[in-house]
A and B are shown apart, each in its own frame.
Chain A
Amino acid sequence: MSGILLLEQSLNGLQFGLMLFLLAAGLTLVFGIMDMINLAHGSLYMIGAFLAAKFVELTGSFWLAVLLAMAGTAIVGMALEMSVLRRLYARDHLAQVLATFAIILIANELVRIVWGPQVPLGTPAALSGPVRLLPGLEYSSYRLVIIAVGLAVAVALYLAVTRTKTGMLVRAGASNREMAVAMGVDIRRLFTLVFGVGAALCAIAGAMLGPILAVQVGMGEDILILAFVVIVIGGIGSIRGALVGALLVGVVDTMGRAFLPGLLREFLSPPVASALGGALASILIYLLMAAILAWKPQGLFPARG
């Protein structure tokens, strides 16, 4: 196994992990502060990607479209919070799961009616080629930009949560909601804000991944499951936990997919090795989760002390 291969796979894992982080960040705050399970988070990711594709059509600029999609998805997210989700906070988790699952189905059909099952979204022309990182390693410039955007958002979010007053209130809400309310924090407004920010982060992930994957109805469901794994590993309510969890899941998933089939091929036929390797790679993430929970039942960085 060469160093270049390892480096390239690490970059792939980093890129995937950072995008998972964008999804997990909003999810973990919503879950942490309001104790609310929001399955419809993946729908916001889908809506963000569709909005980005449509805004690219309208404006012709990819980056402007990403910003507009962020704003649009934040508005959709906040409207959803104020109209429906707010009524679910006091209910038990089962009611929340059922209601937000219904929102997934409704969102999928609405998007299908408004925009159709799939819309095209291309890589910006300037980023469609490779960049030479090392002799023998040319890497997709767009994937590098995804990594850069992901890192930038992670830093910005970290600063916002640790250095600003609103961030302090968010942390207070996540570690002890009742106490925060007792101290006079307007938790309702805070939560609408958190929800809007979470939705905007979803839109970034959807818009950035759209050109690599596909902007289509149902795109949010698969990735949502991974986002939940991330927040459980990282500790519910913790941004830092979401980042570490996302990178762990991204790297473990990519490395597993890349190297397990090769290992198995030593003693199995290629189709069987690939199928088994792929299955084992997906199981690997859940093994990781089980191991971490056995070691730290609250996740790596529990927000509630």
Chain B
Amino acid sequence: MLMRFMALAAALMVASAALAADKVKIGFISTLSGPNAAIGGDIRDGFNLAVKLAGGKLGGLPVEVLVADDQLNPDMGKQHADRMLKRDRVDFVTGTVFSNVVLAIAPQVTDSKTFFIGPNAGPAQYTGAQCNPFFFVSSWPSEAYSEAAGEYVTQRGFRNVIFLAPNYQGGKDAANGFKRYYKGKLADEMYTKLGQLDYAAELAQIRAAKPEALYVFLPGGMGINFIKQFVASGMSKDIQLVVPLWGSDQDIIRAVGDPMLGLFSLGHWTIDLDNPANRKFVAEFEKEYKRLPTGYAASGYDTALLLDAAIRKVKGKIEDKEALRKAIRAADFQSVRGEFRFNANQFPVQDYYLQVVGKTADGKIAHKTMGKILSARGDAYVQDCKMK
């Protein structure tokens, strides 16, 4: 009896191993705790919404999403990636928020021939010589928002601007991007500790420097604290604050409220972009989560749509890595951002918009698109990528 039971159990296990190819496993490593928890939460909610709308499937295959919190700690991210690659044998790794975590986990993911799809940070290293067939970024190359910001402040005629960012990979990429397009004088270039919460010392320096505009690249809770303290310091009347899309997005609007009105930002997506995919996304997101979506959520949603289209294109045969890679590169889906394609380095080529924070018809505070700043922009390093 016992023997028979064990044989049955063994048979079941073999059967389930054979069936494993009939579903797709996603390793979702994201920043889900601490002051930046809202970012990871929004990417996850956007991703899950797309999966849910597709009936719990991606490209016709049932999906299992394994969620893990990297706590904005590269070592923690590495541990999760290790476990997901070796024990859970995931097919894709996505969800990452910060570029320092991406840089820590991407090598082991790509070395194991598993696809990495960055839904937020797209470190500049991977756009050039280090580009990798298994490395995709579905959101934006990490210099792009800041390139658009540099272009915008130049167009506005600002000639005396301060740049402020955390001292980490994303912040340095932002500085490079901003300086590439900004033609005026950089009054100061300030770097703070990643995760810093009190900006009193920096605000005093800014007041003393009297710039015309201030471009601030501070994700998540850092941005919330900075904007609150900037408004409380009384400088918001005299200095034009310019931020990336996520620097004035819904998570920050919820925390700061009315003082956000009139703030300018730059990004690859806006909540009011007029295309069918976006209208559907915004409506469904609000219905599901009772709040307005952020750019992070839009990226998470788009990442799931991208996988959905790619898996459908290879008819569920995700074991054929080369075919799957071609299918992802094709990006054959209606993105919420409108026109979008992958560059040779597997980073997006897309438009970047100027947004302003305003009130919608029903009294909510949200972004409005003010115009296109950069068209079909890729990145500055793609020529160094020798990948076909």
B34 adjacent to A118 (CB under 8 Å):
yes
Interface residues of B in 322-368 (CB under 8 A from A): none
Which residues does chain B contribute within 8 Å of A164, judged by CB atoms? none
A176 touches B (CB below 8 Å): no
B154 at interface (Cβ–Cβ under 8 A)? no
Q: Which of B172, B205, B232, B233 has the most CB of A within 10 A?
A: B232
Inter-chain contacts of B189 with A (CB < 8 A): 270-271
Contact B208 A118 (CB under 8 A): no
Contact of A130 among B191, B193, B233 (CB under 8 A): B233
Of the 9-residue stretches A8-16, A91-99, A192-200, which lies at the interface with chain B?
A: A8-16
Partner of B200 from the list A15, A130, A214, A270 (CB cut-off 8 Å) is: A15
Within 8 A of B (CB), among A165-213: 212-213
* Interface hits, B227-256 → A, CB 8 Å: 228-229, 231-235, 255
Given the complex of chains A and B, what is the CA–CA distance between A12 and B255 in angstroms? Answer: 23
B6 touches A (CB below 8 Å): no
Q: Which of B37, B167, B172, B225 contacts A212 (CB 8 A)?
A: B225
Interface size on A, residues (CB 8 A): 40
For residue B259, which residues in chain A have a CB less than 8 angstroms away from its CB?
128
For B204, the chain A residues whose CB sits under 8 A away are: 5, 8-9, 12, 258
Cα A257 to Cα B198 with chains together (Å): 11
**Known contacts A214-B197, A278-B167: A5-B205 contact under CB 8 Å:** yes
B200–A254 CB distance below 8 A? yes
Bound Cα distance from A127 to B197, whole angstroms: 19
Assembled-state Cα–Cα distance A120/B208 (Å): 31
Q: Which residues of A contact B231 (CB under 8 A)?
A: 128-129
- Across the interface, which residues of A come within 8 angstroms of B35, CB to CB? 118, 214, 216
Among B228, B255, B259, which residue has the most Cβ atoms of chain A within 10 A? B228
Cβ of B108 under 8 Å from chain A: no
- Which residues between 136 and 151 of chain A lie within 8 Å of chain B, taking CB atoms? 136-143
B127 CB to closest chain A CB (Å) equals 19
- Is the beta-carbon distance between A2 and B225 smaller than 8 angstroms? no
Q: Report if A123 contacts B (CB, 8 A).
A: yes
* Contact present for B229 and A212 (CB under 8 Å): yes
- A9 to B198 Cα, complex, angstroms: 13
Q: Which of A217, A254, A257 has the most CB of B within 10 A?
A: A257
Task: Tell me whether B266 is interfacial, beta carbon within 8 Å.
Answer: no
Q: CB within 8 A of B208: which of A2, A128, A216, A278? A: A2
* A262 contact set on B, CB distance < 8 A: 205
Are A271 and B228 touching (Cβ within 8 A)? no
Contacts of B37 in A (CB 8 A): 117-118
Q: Is the CB of A117 within 8 A of B192?
A: no
Evaluate contact between B225 and A123: CB separation under 8 angstroms: no
Q: Which residues of B contact A261 (CB under 8 A)?
A: 190-191
Rounded to whole angstroms, the CA-CA distance of A274 and B37 in the bound complex is 26
Q: A82 interface residue, CB < 8 Å from B?
A: no
Whether a CB of chain A sits under 8 angstroms from the CB of B175 is: yes
**A16, A123, A142, A212 pick with most chain B CB within 10 angstroms:** A212
B162 CB to nearest A CB, Å: 11
A156→B376 CA distance, assembly (Å): 64
Contact check, A4 vs B198: say whether CB atoms are below 8 A apart.
no
Given contacts A117-B33, A129-B234, A274-B192, A4 and B207 within 8 Å (CB-CB)? yes
**CB-based nearest B residue for A281:** B201
B221 within 8 A of A: yes
- Please give, as numbers and ranges, the residues of chain A lying within 8 Å of B234 by CB-CB distance: 129-130, 132, 138-140
Q: Mark A1-44, 1 if CB is under 8 A from B, else 0.
A: 11011001100100110000000000000000000000000000
CB distance from A300 to the nearest CB of B (A): 25
Q: How far is the CA of A15 from the CA of B255 in the complex (A)?
A: 24
Task: Please state if B200 and A271 are interface contacts (CB–CB under 8 Å).
Answer: no
| Residues of B that sit less than 8 Å from A by CB | 33-35, 37, 167, 171-172, 175, 189-193, 197-198, 200-201, 204-205, 207-208, 221, 225, 228-229, 231-235, 255, 259
Q: A1-B208, A212-B229, A278-B167 are in contact. List 12 more A-B contacts (CB 8 A).
A: A16-B200, A118-B33, A129-B231, A130-B232, A140-B232, A140-B234, A143-B200, A213-B198, A270-B175, A270-B189, A270-B191, A274-B192
A-B contact pairs, 27 of them (CB 8 A): A8-B208, A9-B201, A12-B201, A12-B204, A117-B33, A117-B34, A118-B34, A128-B231, A128-B259, A129-B231, A130-B232, A132-B234, A138-B234, A138-B235, A139-B234, A140-B229, A140-B232, A142-B232, A143-B200, A214-B35, A216-B34, A216-B35, A254-B201, A270-B191, A271-B175, A274-B191, A275-B191
